[in-house]
Amino acid sequence: MSDNGSSGAQGVAALFSHGRLTAIPRKAARREQLLVHLTETLFERDRTYSEREVNDALLTVHEDCSALRRYLVVAGLLARPQDGSSYRRVR
């Protein structure tokens, strides 16, 4: 992400209303900002999460937890083994 911290934070804040994500951005750069924000705020480093725990965390901000979970994995922010048994924050 090439955005500097404050404008990135402001941009992400605009995606939320009353603590809920209003929409998942279609533009890749904007979605990347959101995904980094979600990773940093919802998931701890050095902790393993079950799929249910990941879904529960994502449901606190948006009802489409499966799309957000998939985007996080594809973006390389959450890692999961081949069997999909667990998730870990990558960065």
pLDDT digits (tens, 9 = 90+) for 52-68: 999 999 999 999 999 99
pTM: 0.86
As beta bridge partners, residue 17 has 20
Span of 2-6, 50-54, 87-91 with lowest mean pLDDT: 2-6
Amino acid at 47: R
CA distances from 31 to 34, 49, 56, 80 (A): 5, 22, 20, 20
H-run or E-run covering 70: helix 65-74
**Strand boundaries in 1-91, DSSP class E:** 16-17, 20-21, 48-49, 78-79, 87-89
